[in-house]
């Protein structure tokens, strides 16, 4: 019940008694402000804890003629545990009757909980003139306070806060936890061994590592030279008619800020006529700022490279001087950024003219030619008659100019561009990677460059920054005609283009021999051309499973194609792609397609042996922290689902899909998500790119901030339906029963069965059963308070259960689907012997399904013992059922034959 991170604190200001004219006034002007007002003037409850009458469940209270359906005005809860019932009546009404009704309602609430657990222990009732407070099981109130005594300095108010305030109820709630919270939880990965074992890495696939090392410059170019190669040889245009045609692409499109009318969207970035046209009149671009708007990783820098190196017609390009300023290391202080930019411009001009010696006297005179000529024609004439004096005074003037770094920057830029009839273009690269306030500073810096230098300033900017603040200083000064929006190309086209470029480079490598390592340490040599096979197979694998794998990669990266390519590179190096798969790739000359189970494992685990939510692109949406007062296994999913429900609504401040954090917190609080959990999980999902904050911060998010679901959030909101995902996160989830966690730990601890279909099925089932149990508890607690099924719908698991059943039917041996339910481990059965073999006795569990009692669990003479002949009845218990292989392991309960 603590107030955290920007939650506004309010004092309770008691209204005039004359203003309390009816029951609604008592509720809204007196009781509610009293509940949420800070102590010592109020009871100090968080508004998210106070639920109003319209949402609460009705109970039938009273007896005989007094029987009626009743719901109080307010209910104070912690999570979904009711703590305080509050009833208001109009002035003059019988406040003792209101107190009685509230007590009866509290008793009905308590009756839902286990015997001896009475969470709704306190009751408050008021008619404005008088306030009663007491216990649910005592007819007489412990406090009877008049309106005048509701004052921060009165002893009666102090006693009310002491017995019924938020601090006291927080302690009472904590005292209930031993009854409603398990004493311990178990996580499978923590049972496989020590920390080193839990964090075990799968050895990097040296084949893929060699390739990504050799070609990282093509997939993640850093230098200007590498980017120029991409621009010239592998640039992929983004055409409006080709964008967002697949379901996941439509999700990405829906994430695009709506204000496209405030900018020009390029129809085809491969032929950007909209931008080229203004360059025909270079003089009109001087002292202007051109904004290039797009999402992070949309290819803005690559487009600028393409514009500079390829798209601009040669006659225009020959009359431009491009200075590329990398803003990554730029200082973010207004006092420092301008001097820093001056030096970058000087450095850029000098770098663009390597044949000129700017440090020579001739170079200095040329750069500062206007000042030198003014000196020569002006006061310099006074020194011309004295030998050596003119040169001395000129040296003093040049020295003073050199000390004025702003003058040096302006003059150097002028000398290198304007004086030669060339348009200076200053590009502030990577300015869009910064936080919102820093991006706005970048725009201020661009405006300063616009004023001080005769040229065009080209500024890439995050579209969220522009769309959210285009009508505010300093963005409100941007000229609409020079604001261009760029959309990213389709991922599959970018990937194919980069791979083809890598293959063309491979073709130049001849017969160079490379090596990769086998698990036993032996090195295998192969010709460099085999790298092409590897690239081909990986790409085939991604697009063979297009609906699943590409959707994951594109969704996880959003419109950030740079991040999508990073995921691809990590995919290539994953140690989960073993030497057996590499051999298949080589033998098939790149036509081999990796199985979906392997591709999914790579995406889920990267190079981890065991799944780790913190290290994975795919986060565990059912994660909980056992240290919480009440671990909530659906907090992350609820955040995503609630944000998804408002995704297509107008949102706060006319920002589509965005909602104020305070409102989001109130919504999920009703579902039992406590504030500390809400804060932690919100920021976790923001760091995981599932939720985006309006200013791109990933921590210290306040109630006043706006947030929205991101494309990666859409992926996570649906991924839990997949059995491979459920099986993986089961390794890193908490379970109430040690036996279940141990069962999973035993499966994943065995390297031979860790990633098998049987393990996937069984781990996914164990987790889903655990989640269904938690869901049942959460829904029951919610329904005990609220009169709707909102929570049940938001955390519905039926689709995951149906899909897992279909997966079982696909992989299970004939007739064995569901056998684990019909014959659970430990259950005993009276069945007939089906056959006897040297290694044991087969027992028919049901027609077509036989289980084996191994010889090691039988008497020495079992083959000749009449008790184990075909048709004899034996009493067996189930040790293990393998539905995939179609077998069951049994043991005898009694060795003697039982009569039918």
Residue 879 has φ and ψ, to the nearest 5°, of -95, -40
The whole-number pLDDT of residue 542 equals 79
Output the DSSP codes for 886-900: TEEEEEEEESSPPP-
Mean pLDDT lowest among 13-17, 115-119, 678-682, 732-736:
115-119
Residue 594: pLDDT above 50? yes
The whole-number pLDDT of residue 247 equals 46
With a CB cutoff of 8 Å and minimum separation 6, the contacts of 819 are: 812, 845, 849, 881, 883, 888
Q: How confident is the model at residue 3 (pLDDT cuts 50, 70, 90)?
A: very low
With a CB cutoff of 8 Å and minimum separation 6, the contacts of 183 are: none
Bridge-based pairing of strands 706-709 and 691-693 is antiparallel
Bridge-based pairing of strands 455-462 and 423-429 is parallel
Torsion on CA atoms 134, 139, 145, 146, rounded to nearest 10:
140
H, E, C per residue of 745-757: HHHHHCCCCCCCH
The whole-number pLDDT of residue 603 equals 87
pLDDT digit string (tens) for 547-577? 677 778 888 887 788 888 888 888 888 889 8
The whole-number pLDDT of residue 478 equals 73
The whole-number pLDDT of residue 772 equals 97
Across the range 482-496, mean pLDDT stands at 83
The whole-number pLDDT of residue 517 equals 62
Q: Tokens 């001739």 — which residue? A: 362
Higher pLDDT, 370 or 507: 370
The whole-number pLDDT of residue 525 equals 58
- Rounded distance between C-alpha atoms, residue 415 and residue 422, angstroms: 10
- Rounded distance between C-alpha atoms, residue 418 and residue 414, angstroms: 5
List the end-to-end C-alpha distance of the chain, in Å, as a whole number: 64
Higher pLDDT, 333 or 651: 333
Cis peptide before 40 (omega within 30 of 0): yes
Residue 665: pLDDT above 80? yes
Higher pLDDT, 277 or 432: 277
Instruction: Indicate the domain borders of the chain.
Output: 17-180, 206-215+491-607, 257-350+427-486, 356-421, 635-800, 819-894
Considering only CA atoms, which of 460, 430, 179, 213 is closest in space to residue 329?
A: 430
With a CB cutoff of 8 Å and minimum separation 6, the contacts of 806 are: none
Considering 351-365, 437-451, 516-530, 535-549, the range whose residues carry the highest mean pLDDT is: 351-365
Q: What is the CATH number of domain 819-894?
A: 2.40.50.140
The whole-number pLDDT of residue 259 equals 43
Considering only CA atoms, which of 309, 321, 560, 559 is closest in space to residue 427?
A: 321
With a CB cutoff of 8 Å and minimum separation 6, the contacts of 839 are: 852, 854, 855
CB 443 within 8 A of CB 474: yes
Residue 4: pLDDT above 90? no
Considering only CA atoms, which of 482, 494, 602 is closest in space to residue 549?
A: 602
Considering only CA atoms, which of 121, 113, 83, 227 is closest in space to residue 179?
A: 113
Output the DSSP codes for 518-558: -TTS-EEEEETTHHHHHHHHHHHHHHHTIIIIIHHHHHHHT
The whole-number pLDDT of residue 177 equals 87
Residue 445: pLDDT above 80? yes
Residue 160: pLDDT above 60? yes
Residue 436: pLDDT above 60? yes
CB 134 within 8 A of CB 141: yes
Residue 519: pLDDT above 80? no
Cis peptide before 474 (omega within 30 of 0): yes
Q: How confident is the model at residue 900 (pLDDT cuts 50, 70, 90)?
A: very low
High-pLDDT (> 90) share of the chain, %: 57
Cβ burial of 891 (10 Å; 0-12, 13-18, 19+) is middle
Mean pLDDT lowest among 142-146, 303-307, 587-591:
587-591
Q: How confident is the model at residue 818 (pLDDT cuts 50, 70, 90)?
A: very high
With a CB cutoff of 8 Å and minimum separation 6, the contacts of 290 are: 275, 278, 456, 457, 458, 459, 482, 483, 484
Q: Count other C-beta atoms under 10 Å from residue 530's C-beta.
A: 20
Cβ burial of 587 (10 Å; 0-12, 13-18, 19+) is exposed
Residue 872: pLDDT above 90? yes
* Token pair for 364: 């200095």
- pTM greater than 0.85 (yes/no): no
Q: How confident is the model at residue 360 (pLDDT cuts 50, 70, 90)?
A: very high
CB 688 within 8 A of CB 619: yes
Residue 257: pLDDT above 70? no
Question: What is the helix, strand, coil percentage profile of the chain, to 5?
Answer: 50, 15, 35
Considering only CA atoms, which of 757, 754, 742, 798 is closest in space to residue 775?
A: 798
Residue 578: pLDDT above 90? no
CB 593 within 8 A of CB 228: no
As a whole number, the mean pLDDT across the chain is 87
The whole-number pLDDT of residue 899 equals 38
Q: What is the CATH number of domain 257-350+427-486?
A: 3.40.50
Across the range 778-792, mean pLDDT stands at 93
Q: Which uninterrupted H or E stretch holds 290? A: strand 288-294
pLDDT digit string (tens) for 882-897? 999 999 999 999 654 4
Across the range 238-258, mean pLDDT stands at 52
State which fold the 17-180 domain adopts: tt1808, chain A (3.90.1570)
CA 206 vs. chain centroid, Å, equals 30
Q: How confident is the model at residue 881 (pLDDT cuts 50, 70, 90)?
A: very high
Residue 514: pLDDT above 70? no
The whole-number pLDDT of residue 215 equals 86
Considering only CA atoms, which of 208, 218, 268 is closest in space to residue 243?
A: 268
pLDDT digit string (tens) for 178-230? 888 888 999 999 999 999 999 999 888 887 888 888 888 888 888 889 989 99
Q: How confident is the model at residue 513 (pLDDT cuts 50, 70, 90)?
A: low
High-pLDDT (> 70) share of the chain, %: 92
pLDDT digit string (tens) for 33-60? 999 999 999 999 999 999 998 889 999 8
The whole-number pLDDT of residue 511 equals 59
H, E, C per residue of 769-835: HHHHHHHHHHHHHHHCCECCCHHHHHCCCHHHHHHHHHHHHHHCCCCCCCHHHHCCCCCEEEEEEEE
pLDDT digit string (tens) for 413-425? 999 999 999 999 9
The whole-number pLDDT of residue 243 equals 47
List b or e across 372-408, with b for residues whose CB sees 16 or more CB atoms inside 10 angstroms.
beebeeeebeebeeeeeebeebbeebbeebeeeeebb
Residue 252: pLDDT above 60? no
The whole-number pLDDT of residue 775 equals 97
Q: Tokens 């007196």 — which residue? A: 30
Work out the widest C-alpha separation in the chain, in whole angstroms.
136
User: What does each C-alpha distance from 232 to 384, 569, 847, 898 come to in angstroms?
Assistant: 55, 22, 68, 84
The whole-number pLDDT of residue 466 equals 79
């Amino acid at each position: 019940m603590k107030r955290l991170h920007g939650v506004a604190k309010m004092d309770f200001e008691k209204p005039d008694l004359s203003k309390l004219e009816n029951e609604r006034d008592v509720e809204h002007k007196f009781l509610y402000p009293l509940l949420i007002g800070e102590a010592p003037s109020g009871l100090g409850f968080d508004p998210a804890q106070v639920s109003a009458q319209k949402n609460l469940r009705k109970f039938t209270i009273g007896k005989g003629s007094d029987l009626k359906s009743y719901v109080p005005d307010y209910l104070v809860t912690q999570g979904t545990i009711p703590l305080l019932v509050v009833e208001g009546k109009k002035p003059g009404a019988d406040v003792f009757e209101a107190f009685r009704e509230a007590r009866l309602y509290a008793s009905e609430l308590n009756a839902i909980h286990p015997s001896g657990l009475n969470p709704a222990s306190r009751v408050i009732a008021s008619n404005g003139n008088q306030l009663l407070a007491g216990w649910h099981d005592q007819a007489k109130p412990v406090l009877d306070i008049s309106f005048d005594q509701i004052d921060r300095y009165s002893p009666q108010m102090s006693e009310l806060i002491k017995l019924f305030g938020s601090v006291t109820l927080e302690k009472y709630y904590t005292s209930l936890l031993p009854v409603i919270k398990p004493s311990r939880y178990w996580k499978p990965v923590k049972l496989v061994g020590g920390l080193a074992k839990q964090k075990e890495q799968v050895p990097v696939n040296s084949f893929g590592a060699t390739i990504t090392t050799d070609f990282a410059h093509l997939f993640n170019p850093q230098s200007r030279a590498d980017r120029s190669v991409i621009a010239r040889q592998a640039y992929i245009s983004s055409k409006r008619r080709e964008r967002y045609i697949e379901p996941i692409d439509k999700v990405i499109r829906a994430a695009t800020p709506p204000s496209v009318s405030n900018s020009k969207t390029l129809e085809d970035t491969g032929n950007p006529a909209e931008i080229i046209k203004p360059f025909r009149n270079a003089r009109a671009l001087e002292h202007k700022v051109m904004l290039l708007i797009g999402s992070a990783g949309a290819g803005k820098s690559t487009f600028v490279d393409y514009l500079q190196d390829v798209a601009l017609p040669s006659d225009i390009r020959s009359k431009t001087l491009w200075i590329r300023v990398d803003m990554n290391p730029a200082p973010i202080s207004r006092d420092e950024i301008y001097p820093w930019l001056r030096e970058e411009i000087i450095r850029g001009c000098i770098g663009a003219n390597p044949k000129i010696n700017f440090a020579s006297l001739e170079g200095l005179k040329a750069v500062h030619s206007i000042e030198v000529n003014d000196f020569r024609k002006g006061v310099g004439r006074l020194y011309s008659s004295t030998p050596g004096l003119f040169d001395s005074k000129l040296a003093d003037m040049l020295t003073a100019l050199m000390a004025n770094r702003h003058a040096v920057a302006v003059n150097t830029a002028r000398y290198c561009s304007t004086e030669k009839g060339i348009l200076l273009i200053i590009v502030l690269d990577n300015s869009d990677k910064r936080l919102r306030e820093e991006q706005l500073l970048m725009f201020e810096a661009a405006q300063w460059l616009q004023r001080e230098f005769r040229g065009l300033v080209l500024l890439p900017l995050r579209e969220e920054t522009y769309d959210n603040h285009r009508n505010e200083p300093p963005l409100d000064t941007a000229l609409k005609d020079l604001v261009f929006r760029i959309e990213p190309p389709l991922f599959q086209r970018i990937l194919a283009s980069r791979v083809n470029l890598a293959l063309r480079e491979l073709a130049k490598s001849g017969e160079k021999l490379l090596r990769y390592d086998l698990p036993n340490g032996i090195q295998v040599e192969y010709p460099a051309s085999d790298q092409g096979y590897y690239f081909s197979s990986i790409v085939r694998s991604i697009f063979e499973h297009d609906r699943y794998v590409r959707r994951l990669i594109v969704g996880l990266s959003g419109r950030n194609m740079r991040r999508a390519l990073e995921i691809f590179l990590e995919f290539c190096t994953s140690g989960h792609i073993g030497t057996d798969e590499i051999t298949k790739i080589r033998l098939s000359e790149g036509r081999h397609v990796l199985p979906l189970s392997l591709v999914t494992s790579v995406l889920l685990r990267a190079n981890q042996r065991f799944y780790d939510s913190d290290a994975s692109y795919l986060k565990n949406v059912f994660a909980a922290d056992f240290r919480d007062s009440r671990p909530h296994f659906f907090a992350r999913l609820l955040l995503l689902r609630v944000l998804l429900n408002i995704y297509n609504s107008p949102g706060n401040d006319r920002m589509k899909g965005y909602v104020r954090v305070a409102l989001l917190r109130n919504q999920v609080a009703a579902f039992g998500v406590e504030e500390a959990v809400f804060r932690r999980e919100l920021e976790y999902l923001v760091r995981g790119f599932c939720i985006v904050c309006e200013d791109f911060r990933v921590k210290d998010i306040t109630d006043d901030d706006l947030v929205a679901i991101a494309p990666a959030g859409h992926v996570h909101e649906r991924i839990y339906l997949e059995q491979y995902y459920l099986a993986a996160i089961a390794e890193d989830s908490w379970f109430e029963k040690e036996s279940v966690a141990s069962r999973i730990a035993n499966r994943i601890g065995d390297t031979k069965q860790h990633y098998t279909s049987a393990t996937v099925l069984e781990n996914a089932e164990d987790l889903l059963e655990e989640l269904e149990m938690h869901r049942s508890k959460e829904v029951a607690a919610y329904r005990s308070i609220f009169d709707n099924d909102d929570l049940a719908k938001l955390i519905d698991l039926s689709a995951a259960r149906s899909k897992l059943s279909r997966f079982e039917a696909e992989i299970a041996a004939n007739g064995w689907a569901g056998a684990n339910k019909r014959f659970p481990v430990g259950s005993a059965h009276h069945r007939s012997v089906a056959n006897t073999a040297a290694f044991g006795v087969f027992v028919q569990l049901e027609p077509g399904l036989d289980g084996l009692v191994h010889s090691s669990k039988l008497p020495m003479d079992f083959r000749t013992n009449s008790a184990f002949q075909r048709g004899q009845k034996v009493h067996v218990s189930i040790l293990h059922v393998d539905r995939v292989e179609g077998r069951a392991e049994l043991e005898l309960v009694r060795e003697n034959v039982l009569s039918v």
